[in-house]
Amino acid sequence: MQLLLQDYSGRPTPLYFAERLSNQLGGARIFLKREDLNHTGAHKINNTIGQGLLAKKMGKKKSSRKPEPDSTVLRQRRFAPCWVWNARFSWEKKIFADKKLNVYRMRMLGAEVVPVTSGSRTLKDAGNETMRYWVANVEDTFMLFGTAAGPHPYPYMVREFQKVIGEETREQALTNMGRLPDTVIACVGGGSNAIGMFHPFIDDSQVTLMGVEAGGRGIESGAHAATLSQGTPGVFQGSYSYVLQDIHGQVKEAHSISAGLDYPGVGPEHAFLRDSGRVRYCSITDQEALDALYLLSRTEGIIPALESSHAVAQAVKLAPECSSEHIMVVCLSGRGDKDVEAIAGYEGGGLQ
Amino acid sequence: MNPLDHSFATLKQRGGTAFMPFVTVGDPNPECTVDILLTLQEAGASMIELGIPYSDPLADGPVIQRSSQRALKNSVTLTSALECAQLAKQQGLTIPLLLFTYYNPLLQLGLHTAFERMSVAGIDGIIIPDLPYEENERVRALSETFGIHLIPMVALTSKDRVPKIVERAAGFIYCVSSFGVTGMRSQLHTELEAFVRYVKEVSGLPAVVGFGISTSEQYREVSRYADGVVVGSAIVHAIEQQRELWLDPDSRAEAAHSLRSFTEHLISK
């Protein structure tokens, strides 16, 4: 696994000092953990390699997964040909239309991509459909769950495969700066990059950990994916955690400009960290995330994924209030290539 | 004695099999559900499984998912579904009733409140497909307090877990006939018979087979070795097809007649 992370994915990823961004904002020194530089462009490959190896060990020949509606699927499938014969993805209909390019790339890699026609045809239904396919074909199929949610042992497993992010960050901070960061920020949908980043810092009480959820069109609008801030405890897709739901226990649809954060559940370990107060969770709106995306693109020449833009936006808010000694690390969980169509769509007009 | 136990004991004396249809409460609407339950009783149901509609029914195939969504559009909740069951009892339903519900709706109502209301509504058993054995202690304690059997589900994949799952079970054991979700299938799993016999032996309780039984041939075959057979998707599908008739009070009797013939044919020997 170590070898694959190194030679296939390109780890360790750098901890980059975003000097121009820091200067422009004033205040904290902002560092970016460059998960976007992984092969296929995001942290998702860490977990994909881990679960891929597991599938191989278990002798499963097929994989079924709910694609994170970004290039996660590509990560899975690009990696998949090594050992997995046949990958099958369920993808929500809306995204199917929105992300033609990504679907095309997946098919190039040999995956079978199936639009979801059940339920509300959203990301959660793609997840349900994936689990249904998996239970029906459990003898030869491995379900690759991309985030730190879902039934046990997925939340635990995904955290173990993603904690390399925090471990590297910790070591790089100590080596390069001689101390731990003051603040660490990561975006939270299901919460896989965040749990991977936070986990190795849990015992370092001097490090403030912040999880950023999707505030969508604003919390008050009801169109958001701020599960930890606005959800209530419940059981969804096999784990007990916070859920966006009505009083009768019916799960609501989430909304975010970032399809990867657009999930009405969240990993159970985040629920624990929220309740224990160790991690602070907040939300960033679609527009704030988009503004941060442009700011980072234009100061540093890095187009972040819309997911990661939420974390960047929180740094943009906080940095000016901090001293110049303050070290702030943002987990740049993925790159924005995959989101170009979505951004163009959000701004109206699409790609011309 | 729990009415479920009584039913199985009586059936055993007569050498019969329990026919257990599944109905989604509130599809096409709650009023129709009462008539549907009474019709199924007339058609020979020994007990009925009441499906509580849920937004994310992971264990269900397309037919029941659609039905669940229609019921949710009718604003059916766990509470209103129980009221519907109570109404059916008042109108002459005498056979035992089981609830088939995902865990979250129970949890949100409050487990204790949920059991209290089930007890008032005359529910005799409950099946919770997404509550694993390892997490069911609170529910099991309440089920014992209220005398409502918590029915465990076992599948061909349960293997070594079967003895543990059935150890403290009451009522009967729900044997999932195939891999996957609910829905009509052309063929039953070849290992099903051996599995059901094994479950009966290990648990000492009646074994009821569900998921995927939709034809009278399949019904007859499974009846040979199972103590009960659940028919879900086929019934729900039959109701779906006659939706317009059910919804119009003038043609409801016709819809009921058709459901009755369909059911009688399904379970005919």
- Determine whether the interchain pair A137/B179 forms a contact, defined as Cβ–Cβ distance below 8 Å: yes
Q: Is A227 at the interface with chain B, CB within 8 A?
A: no
- Determine whether the interchain pair A250/B179 forms a contact, defined as Cβ–Cβ distance below 8 Å: no
Residue A279: phi, psi to the nearest 5?
-115, 140
Q: pLDDT per residue over B5-50, tens digit each?
A: 999 999 999 999 999 999 999 999 999 999 999 999 999 999 999 9
Using alpha carbons, list the distances in angstroms from residue A267 to A187, A235, B88.
Answer: 13, 11, 41
Closest by CA to A68, choosing from A185, A157, A175, A193, is A193
Minimal-distance CA residue of chain A relative to B77: A248
Residues of B annotated as part of the active site: 49, 60
Q: pLDDT per residue over A200-258, tens digit each?
A: 999 999 999 999 999 999 999 999 999 999 999 999 999 999 999 999 999 999 999 99
Tokens for A40? 């296929």
Question: What's the CA angle centered on B45, arms B44 and B48, to 5 degrees?
Answer: 165
Q: pLDDT per residue over A115-157, tens digit each?
A: 888 777 777 888 888 888 888 888 888 888 889 999 999 999 9
Q: How close B254 gets to chain A, by Cα (Å)?
A: 30
Report yes or no: A237 and A227 within 8 Å, Cβ to Cβ.
no
Q: How close A292 gets to chain B, by Cα (Å)?
A: 34
Q: Which of residues 232-251 of B touch A (CB under 8 A)?
A: none
- Determine whether the interchain pair A249/B107 forms a contact, defined as Cβ–Cβ distance below 8 Å: yes
Q: Which of residues 104-143 of A touch B (CB under 8 A)?
A: 118-120, 124-125, 128, 131-132, 135-139
ipTM over the 0.90 cut-off: yes
Q: Is B109 at the interface with chain A, CB within 8 A?
A: yes
Say if residue B205's pLDDT is above 70.
yes
**Residues of B whose CB is below 8 A from A125:** 56
Report yes or no: A96 and A69 within 8 Å, Cβ to Cβ.
no
**Residues of A whose CB is below 8 A from B130:** 235, 238
Using alpha carbons, list the distances in angstroms from residue A231 to A104, A149, A264.
Answer: 35, 15, 8
Q: Which of residues 158-217 of A touch B (CB under 8 A)?
A: none
**Residues of A whose CB is below 8 A from B180:** 132, 135-137
Q: pLDDT per residue over B120-168, tens digit each?
A: 999 999 999 999 999 999 999 999 999 999 999 999 888 899 999 999 8
- Segment holding A332, helix H or strand E: strand A327-332
Q: What is the pTM of this model?
A: 0.92
Size of the A and B interface in Cβ pairs below 8 Å: 70
